[in-house]
Amino acid sequence: MSRPPFEPVTERDIRIVSAQLGRPARDVVGIPARCVCGAPTVVATAPRLSDGTPFPTFYYLSHPVATAAMSFLEAAQLMVECTELLADDPETAASYERAHRDYLADRESIAVVPELAGISAGGMPTRVKCLHALAAHALAAGPGENPIGDIALQRSTWSPSVCRCPDYGVDDEVPSA
């Protein structure tokens, strides 16, 4: 796991993320979290894309098995459960609000985009709207940083410590002409 400043992103990382997303990965500023095998699980994207669009989701869950696991948990109503937890437990609510501020600080260390002021991701600081975004933040920042992201990862059938990566095809030899 890592937060800014990030290690340089390799060409291979970009190829894997592009395969994961099913489109060319653009404006990548770092790989904040990886599978045990080294493949990216979370991609950090510039807060303003090169075409000028503001992009709030700094930490994006790119791993296909992880995103499927989060979609399953969303369908299983984990967001409802987490929303109730935030309402009932002031400590979790306070820690979720801290996670929101840390998220903004991480993103603003790359670039401050006025249109995104106060906007983080996943429903923070008071709502639970996207487990993918919250799990991505938890993977980047480490345990204890994003309480809802931590719960999502605990309940997840996917874990970054057990490689279930598909063959992304990025190491195939390019046939010579």
- Contacting residues toward Zn ion, per CB under 5 A: 35, 37, 39, 163, 165
- Minimum distance from CB of 55 to Zn ion (Å)? 26
- Minimum distance from CB of 37 to Zn ion (Å)? 3
- Minimum distance from CB of 171 to Zn ion (Å)? 13
Nearest to Zn ion of 35, 70 (CB atom): 35
Nearest to Zn ion of 38, 144 (CB atom): 38
Q: Name 12's Cβ contacts closer than 8 Å, sequence gap at least 6.
A: 170, 171
- Minimum distance from CB of 168 to Zn ion (Å)? 10
Place of tokens 């605990």: 154
Nearest to Zn ion of 39, 121 (CB atom): 39
Nearest to Zn ion of 37, 49 (CB atom): 37
Locate the DSSP E strands across 28-168.
28-34, 40-45, 59-61
Of 74, 78, 80, residue with least CA distance to 61: 74
For the chain, what is the radius of gyration of the CA atoms?
16
Angle at 16 between CA 9 and CA 73, to 5 degrees: 110
Structure tokens, 130: 């996207």
